[in-house]
Every structure is written in structure tokens, then in C-alpha cells.
Chain A
Amino acid sequence: MTSPGRAGGAVVTFEHVTKRYGPPGTPPAVEDLSLTIPAGEICVLVGPSGCGKTTTMRMINRLVEPTSGRITIDGQDVRDLPAVELRRGIGYVIQQVGLFPHLTVGENVAIVPRLLRWSEPRVGERVEELLELVGLDPGEFRARYPASLSGGERQRVGVARALAADPPVMLMDEPFGAVDPILRDRLQNELLRLQAKVGKTIVFVTHDVDEAIKMADRVAILRRGGILAQFDTPEAILAAPASSFVEHFVGADRGLKRLSLAKVRDLQLIEPLTVRVGEPRAELRRRMEIDGIGYALLVDAANRPLGWVNRDELTVEGALSEEEATPGAPLLQPETTLRDALSALLGSSVQLGVVTDERDRVLGLLSVDAISDVLRNDGTWPRP
């Protein structure tokens, strides 16, 4: 067993795995599945109900035994270890959480470390560390019983419990399926932030395509009967669905879905013609004529955007003032998703967005054209 706090995942492979719940001849729940999940990635199993995604996940910790084929973790066959021992080394989170109602939050988190006979001081430290990691104040929550927690708090305790013995692999079966959309979004973001720190191999089951696209490093789309329809990055699946089933399953708006995968920082920004307050109008007019540009971006002394200056309005002479700027350019941050950026651009009169850094300084411009170029290419983002 690994030491607490150590990050890292393990490679999980499926080799021709088939699971039949009935006698030979009955249709299989999972059919001849071969899949390699790289270490430290979130692999989302997604598909319509009856596609065998939960069965697939439960075969990893042997809650379901495959009928044929082999599953390995870091090269070792999962059947080499006694099931009980194997499971203590694999985290497990389910939709209904399944916290033990008769144990406190702290005791729930301590379950696997105690099964592994860690020393009590070490267990105590680990519980404290994990509650903090999932954003629950140990002083407040440690001694409480699950019945007194909210749905979101329970799910966080569930994640802390699954991480307790620092397992390289975590299984999550629709972990956010039972919470409201706003809380789901928050828990998803928390898990992504957590994963950035711990780097586990996470096998995540959902029926929600949007959740799959958001959470996954790699998506495995399964169809009825446990047949693997496509296994690739979300970008590649949205750009090039392997079959009409995949295309239909990811939805008609897959173009827009792709835009939610990329951020403004992934695109090459346009260098704007900027002009500072106090500069002479004649000089600006001359520069605009050379570049053949009708608009310039007026900025203040700290390079913060004030608005647009139109060449046709530069008829009088003298210094530029703040009042001459026409505001209205949507402000975008490098972290804004292209989907949000597009919606901001379409909603404004000028179809150019100003991208600013954390101190509101101008980094560049983003046009609607640049975003639609992304939709036309083959699924790889143009990197600056």
C-alpha cells in the first residue's frame, strides 16, 4: 500500500473482457471489451442504460466477475489478489454515497485505513488531511453523523473516504447523479481540482454526455450489449464521431459542445491597434490609414481597455480623450470557454472581444471568425 499523500495512478487494462449474467448463449452485458486506461487519467464510461457501463466498472474491483477475459492494474491481474485485499486498494464512490450511518464522518473516512491496520495517530492525521482536501472543516465535521449532513457534504465525505488509503485507482458510479444541477457543477469542478492534485486513475460512469465531456481525459462510449463504440479524447469524439450511433448519442449540438472544451487562451489572439488617452488624433488617423483598420482600441495609462475609436469620427485635431471611446466590447479572460466567449460576442454589437489578464490589461482581441475556424478544423486546437 502506498503512503498517504503520494499522488499517482495506475494503468488499467481490459483484455477481451466479456460478462454474461445468464448461461452461455444469453446476450452478454459486456462483449469482448479491450481498453487501456492510462495512469492518472479520468476515463468516463458513458452510454445509454443497459450498455454495461456499471458492469464494466464493477469488474475492476471484482464486485462483478468477468465471464472471460482479463483485467489488469499496472500489469497485475486483478484475480491475483484475494477480492477483499484488491478492493481495499481501490477507491469507490457511488451515487447514493453509502456512508455508514452508525459511524461519524471521521470514522467513515477512517474505514479502509483501519481495515489496513494503520496506527491510530496515522489514521487521525489522514482523516484530518482528507476532510480539508474535500473542503470540510475537520473540527466541525469530524464528529458528526451522516444523517445530519446535506447531500453535497455527504458526497464530499464519500470522496474523502474513497481517497483515504491513497489508492491508485478510483471507481465512481454516477457520483453526482442525485444532486441538483448547480451543486453538481460545483462538485464536478471540485473533483477536477482535486484530481489535478492527486492524479489518480479514475473510472467514472455516467449517462450524461455533457458530464462525460467535462470530466473526461478520455471517453469510452458503450452501446447496448456492452460494445465499445468509440474510445478517445472528448475533442476527438466531438470532432469525428466514429459512427452514426456516436454522432446521435453525443447530440446534434456537438459543435457547441466542442467549444465548451476549449478556452480563450487556446486560440491565437489578434494584436489590436491600441491608442492611449492623450495621443494626438492626427497621428492615430495616419496609423489607421497605413494599416487599413477602421477601429482602434483606446486604453488608459495602465493598458486597461476603455472602448473603441472610429476612424470616421477623427475629423477634428487635438489630443484623444476618454469620452471619445465607444464602450461595448465584451471583455473575455483567458479562462473563458469558447462557448461562453461566442455567446458574449454574438450578444454585442462589435464582434470582437477584448481579452484581458487578471489586472484587466489588454492581451489581445478575439473574433467570432477565430472561433468558427475552430469548428471547421479536425478537432485539434490551433495553439498560440
Chain B
Amino acid sequence: MNDQPFFRFDWVIDNLDEIARRLGEHLVMTGIAVGVGLLISFALALLVRRVRPLYGPTIAVTGALYSIPSLALFALLMPITGLSLLTAEIALVSYTLLILVRNIVAALDGVPAEVLDAAAAMGFGPVERLWRVELPIALPVIVAGVRIATVTTIGLVTVTSLIGLGGLGYLIVNTGINRFFATSIYTGVALSVALAVLADVGLEGLQRRLTPWAQARTG
């Protein structure tokens, strides 16, 4: 590595197509993980709110999943699902659950009791109340959870290159570490970090646009 320049811009320019493809794969894997994670967490949160005693066990199980090292989880899943996208996504989705379930439950619990009382008294049914009152009011806190889950997942997706998948991890591991090529490692790391920051800022902006009322307090 010593005889190489610190960073070879010519390699980046020559391989723009490849870098863009890996970036795209990274985005897709993150999107699937957070999307599926959100759906499952939402269902779990609604269940937990109906049957409160399930909250403890749900947090215990999702917490246990969260604590399994990703490589170990890949190893455990490999005999069943092989070196596939499914293996990667099962692991990635598992890691989002703890954050998302906790946030969605807290967000829905945070809807003021008098608002729920007024909604019931004005003739909202339970389903209408959930969609038109509880979720909109809970949205800022839910989005805050999605931001954390997204940033975490973007970092984790790099590891999936170890089971032969693409994403920015491919640049770091396959063309980087395996071939002692620093420029590829730097590129992969920088893009991964940039993606995390952009996703975080973008989601915050989205939340502000969706919930203009949450800013009314100051204005």
C-alpha cells in the first residue's frame, strides 16, 4: 500500500458506474430493511397497545435480537436461507425492531388523553381515530425512531458484503481490503457516512414538512 498515492481520483473517475451501482444496492437494501422493519414494528406496537402485558416480552425479544452480532446471525441463518439477500434482510430487519417498536409505542402513548377523549366524544370510531388522530400526532416521534433505525441500518448494510452481497461494503471489503486498495475503502466509507448523514437530514426535513403544527409552538 505504501507505494500508492493516498487517494487515486483517476480510479474513482474510471469506476463511477461501479460506485453508483454499489450505492444504489446499498440504498435498496437499507430501504427494504427499514420499510419491512417499520411494517412489522407497527403491527407489534398495535398489538402491544391492545395487550399491554406483551410489551415487556416484545422488548426482551427484540432486544435479544439486537444484541446478536451480525456475523453470528448470518452464520445461524446460512444453513436455512443460504448466501442470499433474504439472509441479509432478516438480519437487518431484526436490528430495526427494537428501536422502532419502542418508538412507535412511546409515540402513541404520548398522544394526550384529553385529545383521545375529545375524539371519542366527537364520534370517531377506533380505526378513524388511529389514522386521523393518533398517528398524525405521533408522527414526529415515530419519524425520530425511523431516523435512528435508518442511520444504524446504513452502517450495518456494509457488513452484508461478507456474505457475497453488493452495496458499499463491496467497495470496502472486496475491492478494498481484499486487494489492499485504500482508495476503494475510503470511497466506500465516505459514501456510507455521507448517505447516513443525508438520510438523517432528509428524514428530518420530511418530518418538518409533514408536521407543520409541531413547529407552531415557537411561532
Q: Which residues of A contact B (CB under 8 A)?
A: 61, 63, 84-88, 90, 92, 94-104, 111-112, 115, 144-148, 161, 171
Contacts and interface: CB of A to CB of B under 8 A. Distances in A.
A193 to B, nearest CB: 24
Most buried by A among B115, B121, B139, B211: B121
Nearest to A95: B114
B77 to A, nearest CB: 41
Nearest to B139: A102
Q: Which 3 A-B pairs have the closest CB atoms?
A: A98-B118, A145-B216, A88-B123
Contacts of B125: 84
B57 interface: no
B216 A92 contact: no
Given A96-B114, A100-B115, A100-B133, A63 B211 contact: no
B6 interface: no
Nearest to B135: A102
18 contacts: A85-B123, A86-B123, A92-B122, A94-B121, A95-B114, A99-B118, A101-B112, A101-B213, A102-B136, A102-B213, A112-B123, A115-B123, A145-B212, A145-B213, A145-B216, A146-B216, A147-B216, A161-B122
Contact of B137 (A84, A95, A100): A100
B interface, how many residues as a size bin?
A: 20 to 34
A84 B137 CA distance: 21
A97 B121 CA distance: 12
B7 interface: no
Contacts of B122: 87-88, 92, 111-112, 115, 161
Contacts of B124: 84, 115
Given A98-B115, A148-B219, A87 B211 contact: no
Interface in B132-155: 133, 136-137, 139
Nearest to B126: A84
A94 B136 CA distance: 22
Contacts of A95: 114
B217 interface: yes
Contacts of A98: 112, 114-115, 117-119
Nearest to A171: B121
B214 to A, nearest CB: 8
B114 A101 contact: no
Interface of B is mostly: helix
A115 B123 CA distance: 8
B216 A87 contact: no
Contact of A94 (B114, B137, B211): B114
A97 B117 CA distance: 10
B116 to A, nearest CB: 8
Contact of A147 (B115, B118, B136, B217): B217
Interface string B79-120: 000000000000000000000000000000000101101111
Contacts of B133: 100
B123 A84 contact: yes
B213 A61 contact: no
Given A96-B114, A100-B115, A102-B137, A147 B213 contact: yes
B115 to A, nearest CB: 5
A97 B118 CA distance: 8
A103 to B, nearest CB: 7
Contacts of A104: 213
A102 B80 CA distance: 46
A47 B119 CA distance: 27
Contacts of A103: 213
A84 B124 CA distance: 6
A111 B118 CA distance: 11
Contacts of B219: 148
A261 to B, nearest CB: 31
Contacts of B123: 84-88, 112, 115
A103 B216 CA distance: 11
A87 B121 contact: yes
Nearest to A61: B121
Given A102-B211, A112-B122, A97 B216 contact: no
Given A84-B125, A147-B213, A147-B217, A101 B120 contact: no
A111 B217 CA distance: 22
B121 A148 contact: no
A264 B211 CA distance: 55
Nearest to A164: B122
A102 B115 CA distance: 11
Contacts of B120: 63, 87
B117 A63 contact: yes
Contacts of A61: 121
Contacts of B216: 144-148
A175 to B, nearest CB: 12
Given A100-B118, A115-B124, 15 more contacts: A95-B114, A96-B112, A98-B114, A99-B118, A100-B115, A101-B137, A102-B139, A102-B211, A102-B214, A103-B213, A112-B123, A115-B123, A115-B128, A146-B216, A148-B219
A144 B219 CA distance: 10
A100 B118 CA distance: 9
Contacts of B137: 100-102
Contacts of A148: 216-217, 219
A115 B117 CA distance: 16
